[in-house]
Amino acid sequence: MVLPIHDDNPVRRAPVVTYLLIALNVGIFLLTPVARDPFGHQQTVASVCAQTTFFDRYAAIPRELLTNRQLARRPVGIRTDQGVVPCPVVRYMKIPVASVLFAMFLHGGWLHLLGNMLFLYVFGNNVEDRLGRLWYLGFYLICGYVATYAFALSDPNSTTTLVGASGAIAGVLGGYLVLYPRARITSIVPPLFFLPFRLPAWVVLGFWFVLQYWYSARAAASSGAGVAYLAHVAGFLVGGVLVWPFRRRRTPPPSPPYPQTWRAGY
């Protein structure tokens, strides 16, 4: 696994949308039941029931997405040392199409959130700089929707809840690779004692994509993978396709100009 820290690719205007997306993801996560127990060591039956109900209500579920119908709520039981304890049934209305948008700002834990935000912070600013703020926001959301529905199509009967910005951020990575394949990315490789390396983007992101594709192929042949790797693959590909027309577009000068020391990923 290659972990990017920052890139040497300067931007010419503040990445307002990227920073706003990061702030929304962090802020919304802090309001969710998952954030209340960072390490999951003191979970009670009530907290587990609250998390389960919350994700059923707001997360994307493949069967709901493809039928465009909310699944009937069934009693959920939490297994404990004393046996199975039922969770209370909470009634709610859910719009499956809208759940994709909600799911893009939800995360299953702190590591899930921080990993996604790191990649968005390092790579999102340059893609936003090239596309422009409104185009970039639309691009981000489209990648997230396509990634989620692609995963749903791969397993149409699944009732697993899908959360996370990974599909949309994978689109950002695919877009960055198409726009800046030779940009230098400072990365660390955990097996090599966390030593920093300056690698071209096509190596860092190409390796990331191959790894996600390999994981998705393995997940298709097994059960309970726990990570929607196929959504990462789909988001990455659609992101590369969508930014293709912007490859030779010049970034407009900022107004007012930013100092020359402004650098992406800092």
Q: Which residue has the tokens 């802090």?
A: 30
Q: Who wins on pLDDT, 254 or 233?
A: 233
pLDDT at 212: 93
pLDDT at residue 256 tops 50:
no
Q: Who wins on pLDDT, 37 or 48?
A: 48
Instruction: Kindly state the average pLDDT of the residues 190-218.
Output: 87
pLDDT at 266: 31
CB count in 10 Å sphere of residue 173: 28
Taking a C-beta distance cutoff of 8 angstroms, is the pair 56, 96 a contact? no
User: What is d(CA 156, CA 84) in angstroms, rounded to the nearest whole number?
Assistant: 29
Confidence of residue 228 (pLDDT cuts 50, 70, 90): confident
Confidence of residue 250 (pLDDT cuts 50, 70, 90): low
pLDDT at 169: 97
Q: Which residues of 88-123 are buried (b: 16+ CB within 10 A; e: fewer)?
A: eeeeeebebeebbebbbbbbbbeebbebbbbbbbbb
Instruction: Looking at mean pLDDT, say which of 52-56, 91-95, 233-237 comes out highest.
Output: 233-237
pLDDT at 258: 44
pLDDT at residue 4 tops 50:
yes
pLDDT at residue 177 tops 60:
yes
Give the rounded percent of residues in the chain with a pLDDT score beyond 70: 82
pLDDT at 115: 93
pLDDT at residue 139 tops 60:
yes
Taking a C-beta distance cutoff of 8 angstroms, is the pair 1, 190 a contact? yes
User: What is d(CA 174, CA 49) in angstroms, rounded to the nearest whole number?
Assistant: 37
Structurally, at CATH architecture level, domain 3-246 sits in: Up-down Bundle (1.20)
> What tokens does 101 get?
């948008």
Confidence of residue 255 (pLDDT cuts 50, 70, 90): very low
Give the tens place of pLDDT for each residue, 121-132: 999 999 999 999
pLDDT at residue 262 tops 80:
no
